[in-house]
Amino acid sequence: MAVQSTSQHTAQRNRLTVGGILIVFGLLIFLLFTPGTEAGQVAKFGMNLKSSAALPIPDITLPVQASIYALSILVVFLGAFQMARGIRSAGALFGIVAFAFVAAFLIWATKGKSLSLIGMLSSSLVRATPIALAALCGVISERAAVVNIGIEGIMLISAQASVVAATMSGSMTLGLIVGVLVGALVAAFHAFLVIRFKVDQIVSGVAINIFATGATSFLSSKYLQHQGDLLNNSGTYPIIQIPLLSKIPVLGPILFENNLVVYLMLLIVIVMHIVLYYTPWGLRTRAVGEHPKAADTLGINVFFVRYVNVIVGGMIAGLGGVYFTLGSVGRFDEVMTAGKGFIGLAAMIFGNWNPIGAFTSSLIFGFADSLQIKMQILSVPIPSSILAMAPYIVTMIVLTGVVGRAIPPAADGVAYEKQ
Amino acid sequence: MSANKEIKKTEARSSLAKMFGGSAFQSLLIPTLAVFIGLVIGGLVIAATDAGVAEAFKNFSSDPGAAFKSIWTAIATAYGALFYGSLGSPREIIAGFKALQATGDNDAFLKAIYPLTESLVTATPYIFAGLAVAIGFRCGLFNIGAEGQFFMGALGAAYVGYSLKGLPWFVHLPLAILGGGLAGAIWGAVPGYLKAKFGAHEVVNTIMMNWIAFRLSDWLLTGPMMTAGFRPVTPNIQKTAELPRFFEDPLRFNWGFVLALVVAWLVYWFLFKTTLGFEIRSVGANPDGSKYAGMSVVRNFVLVMVLSGALAGLAGSAQVLGVDHWVGQGFSAGYGFDAIALALLGKSHPLGVVLSAILFGILRSGATRMQSLAGIPIDIISIIQGLVIIFVAAPAIIRWLFRIRISTGDETVLTRGWGK
CA distances from B238 to A372, B158, B170 (A): 37, 9, 13
Q: Is B23 helix (H, G, I), strand (E, B) or coil?
A: coil
Q: Is B51's Cβ below 8 Å from some Cβ in A? A: no
Mean pLDDT of A65-91: 80
Q: Is A194's Cβ below 8 Å from some Cβ in B? A: no
CA distance A59 to A52: 14
Q: B310-340 pLDDT, tens per residue? A: 999 999 999 999 998 999 887 777 788 788 8
Q: A144-159 pLDDT, tens per residue? A: 999 998 999 999 999 9
The pLDDT of residue B25 is 67
Q: Which residues are bridge partners to B245 per DSSP?
A: B254
Chain B (136-165) residues lying within 8 Å, Cβ to Cβ, of chain A: 142, 144
The pLDDT of residue B330 is 78
Q: Do B285 and B412 meet the contact criterion of CB atoms below 8 Å apart?
A: yes
- Secondary structure string (H, E, C) spanning chain A: CHHHHHHHHHHHHHHHHHHHHHHHHHHHHHHHHCCCCCCCCEEEEECCCCCCCCCCCCCEEEEHHHHHHHHHHHHHHHHHHHHHCCCCCHHHHHHHHHHHHHHHHHHHHCCCCEEEHHHHHHHHHHHHHHHHHHHHHHHHHHCCCCCCCCHHHHHHHHHHHHHHHHHHHCCHHHHHHHHHHHHHHHHHHHHHHHHHCCCCHHHHHHHHHHHHHHHHHHHHHHHHCCCHHHHCCCCCCCCEECCCHHHCCCHHHHHCEECHHHHHHHHHHHHHHHHHHHCHHHHHHHHHHHCHHHHHHCCCCHHHHHHHHHHHHHHHHHHHHHHHHHHHHCCCCCCCCCCHHHHHHHHHHHCCCCHHHHHHHHHHHHHHHHHHHHHHHCCCCCCHHHHCCHHHHHHHHHHCCCCCCCCCCCCCCCCCCCC
Within 8 A of B223 by CB-CB distance, chain A residues are: 383
Q: Distance (Å) from the C-alpha of residue B216 to the closest C-alpha of chain A?
A: 6
Q: Is A135's Cβ below 8 Å from some Cβ in B? A: no
In the predicted model, what is the mean pLDDT of chain B? 84
Q: Is B212's Cβ below 8 Å from some Cβ in A? A: yes
Mean pLDDT is lowest, of A187-201, A390-404, B205-219, B380-394, for A390-404
Q: Do A192 and A140 meet the contact criterion of CB atoms below 8 Å apart?
A: no
Q: A204-252 pLDDT, tens per residue? A: 888 898 889 989 998 998 888 888 778 888 888 888 888 878 777 777 7
Residue of A206, A219, A224, A405 best to disrupt the B interface, most CBs of B under 10 A = A206
Q: Is B203's Cβ below 8 Å from some Cβ in A? A: yes
In the predicted model, what is the mean pLDDT of chain A? 85
For domain A118-399, the CATH class is mainly alpha
> pLDDT confidence of A113, banded at 50, 70, 90?
confident
CA distance A138 to A351: 11
Q: Do A51 and A257 meet the contact criterion of CB atoms below 8 Å apart?
A: yes
Query: Has residue A187 got a pLDDT over 50?
Result: yes
For domain B117-378, the CATH class is mainly alpha
Domain regions of chain B by residue span: 117-378
Query: Has residue B22 got a pLDDT over 50?
Result: no
Q: Is B406's Cβ below 8 Å from some Cβ in A? A: no
Domain regions of chain A by residue span: 2-112, 118-399
Within 8 A of B207 by CB-CB distance, chain A residues are: 339, 342
For residue B219, what is the nearest residue in chain A, using CA coordinates? Answer: A385
User: Can you spell out the DSSP letters for B79-138?
Assistant: HHHHHHHHH--HHHHHHHHHHHHHH---HHHHHHHHHHHHHHHHHHHHHHHHHHHHHHHH
Q: Do A188 and A307 meet the contact criterion of CB atoms below 8 Å apart?
A: yes
For residue B338, what is the nearest residue in chain A, using CA coordinates? Answer: A210
Mean pLDDT of A266-284: 95
CA atoms within 13 A on the CB side of A93: 24
Phi/psi-derived region of residue A86, left when phi > 0, alpha when psi is between -120 and 50, beta in every other case: left
> pLDDT confidence of B20, banded at 50, 70, 90?
very low
User: Can you spell out the DSSP letters for B252-318?
Assistant: --BHHHHHHHHHHHHHHHHHHHSHHHHHHHHHHH-HHHHHHTT--HHHHHHHHHHHHHHHHHHHHHH
> pLDDT confidence of B148, banded at 50, 70, 90?
very high
Q: B73-90 pLDDT, tens per residue? A: 888 888 888 888 888 888
Q: Which residues are bridge partners to B188 per DSSP?
A: none
Tell whether ipTM is more than 0.95.
no
Q: Distance (Å) from the C-alpha of residue A410 to the closest C-alpha of chain B?
A: 9
Q: What is the dihedral of CA B339, B343, B349, B355, to 10 degrees?
A: -70
Within 8 A of B340 by CB-CB distance, chain A residues are: 206, 210
Q: Is A144's Cβ below 8 Å from some Cβ in B? A: no
Nearest to A197 among B210, B389, B396 (CB): B396
User: Can you spell out the DSSP letters for B238-261?
Assistant: PGGGSPPBSSSTT---BHHHHHHH
DSSP label at residue B320: I
Nearest to A202 among B208, B397, B415 (CB): B415
Chain A (332-391) residues lying within 8 Å, Cβ to Cβ, of chain B: 338-339, 342, 345-346, 349, 383, 385-386, 388-389
Q: Is A211's Cβ below 8 Å from some Cβ in B? A: yes
Mean pLDDT is lowest, of B39-43, B94-98, B412-416, for B412-416
> pLDDT confidence of B18, banded at 50, 70, 90?
very low
Put simply, the answer to whether B382 touches A198 (Cβ < 8 Å) is no
Mean pLDDT of B355-374: 87
Give pTM, 2 decimals: 0.84
Mean pLDDT of A112-126: 85
The separation between CA A138 and the C-alpha centre of its own chain, rounded to angstroms, equals 12
